[in-house]
């Protein structure tokens, strides 16, 4: 996957500083997933958030304007090749229509927002191997 130059610079600075997305999130009062989305240029930051992130990462303060700009979102028109991202694609290929049917049974015709939406990732210990739990609460729009 080709990342925008800004994303590469931000992620490199994060690695050099030894900071986690959660630690950066605490500095700006945001969730770790939101911070990751900002650094990967899938979301834009407010001015205050951008200034704090630039400071925490030790990047040029001029980066602030770029962090506030509306990014070009998405992975492009290709099937993802990263194994973890592909599994989510595969899940939607196999369970997308069943999931849609169950949501429609419970809520009626409509969509689940990806704007008024949060993501949380939890790690759970299991005797058969650690489990990842991804929680995706989004507002329903009829």
| Exposure of 49 in the CB half-sphere (CA atoms within 13 A) | 21
* Residue-by-residue pLDDT tens, the chain, 142 positions: 678 899 999 999 999 999 999 999 999 999 999 999 999 999 999 999 999 999 999 999 999 999 999 998 887 778 888 899 999 999 999 889 889 988 999 999 999 998 899 999 999 999 999 999 999 999 999 9
Beta bridge partners of 134: 121
pTM for the structure as a whole: 0.78
State the catalytic residue, choosing from 16, 20, 46, 90: 90
Out of 3.30.1160.10, 3.30.70.1400, 3.40.50.20, 3.40.50.720, select the CATH number for domain 83-141.
Answer: 3.30.1160.10
Give me 24's structure tokens. Answer: 């950066």
User: Which CATH topology does 5-68 take?
Assistant: 434 Repressor (Amino-terminal Domain) (1.10.260)
Whole-angstrom distance, CA of residue 66 vs CA of residue 60? 11
The greatest distance separating any two alpha carbons of the chain, rounded to the nearest whole angstrom, comes to 51
User: Which residues neighbour 134 within 8 Å (Cβ) at sequence distance 6 or greater?
Assistant: 119, 120, 121
> In the annotation, is 113 catalytic?
yes
pLDDT of residue 1: 64
> In the annotation, is 44 catalytic?
no
State the catalytic residue, choosing from 113, 122, 124, 131: 113
Residues in the chain: 142
């Amino acid at each position: 996957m080709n990342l925008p130059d800004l994303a590469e610079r931000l992620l490199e600075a994060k690695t050099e500083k030894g900071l986690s997305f959660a630690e950066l999130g605490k500095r700006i009062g945001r969730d770790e997933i939101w911070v990751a989305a900002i650094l990967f240029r899938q979301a834009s930051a407010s001015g205050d958030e951008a200034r704090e992130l630039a400071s925490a990462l030790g990047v040029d303060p001029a980066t602030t304007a770029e962090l506030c700009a509306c990014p070009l979102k998405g992975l492009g028109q290709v099937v993802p090749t990263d194994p973890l991202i592909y599994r989510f694609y595969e899940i939607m290929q196999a369970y997308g229509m069943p999931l849609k049917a169950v949501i429609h049974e419970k809520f009626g015709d409509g969509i689940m927002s990806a704007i008024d939406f949060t993501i949380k990732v939890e790690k759970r210990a299991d005797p058969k191997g650690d489990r990842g739990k991804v929680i995706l609460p989004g507002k329903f729009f009829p």
